[in-house]
Amino acid sequence: MKLENNELKTLNKTSEIERMRLMELVKTLQKRIEEMNEKSMENENKLNEIRRRSAVLEKQIEKSKIQDSKNPSIYNYISDLYFKIIILNFKRRK
């Protein structure tokens, strides 16, 4: 009976230690989840900003095409804007 009692106490202590370790693991994992959520939100905001800038550049290209499609310097300007859009889209995909 005494031996059985000691075994139960040891099992109780062991289970308590294991429970504490698991709680620490849960806290660590929750912290990681929070950090990943914050990074995700930051990346989402960056993506939205890149999309906004891309839309502005696309509008500038269309406006330039409409204003004077015969002027070669305008074509250079349009090409530069188009190149900027390509770069922005490439960065967005990373």
CB within 8 A of 28, min separation 6: which ones? none
Query: What are 8-63's pLDDT values in tens digits?
Result: 889 999 999 999 999 999 999 999 999 999 999 999 999 999 999 988 888 887 77
What is the domain count for the chain?
1
Cβ of 81: how many Cβ atoms within 10 Å? 19
What is the residue range of 88's domain? 2-93
pTM, whole model, 2 decimals? 0.55
DSSP 8-state secondary structure symbol assigned to residue 68: -
- Pick the more confident residue, 20 or 87: 20
Tens digits of per-residue pLDDT, 31-44? 999 999 999 999 99
In the chain, beta strands by DSSP E: none
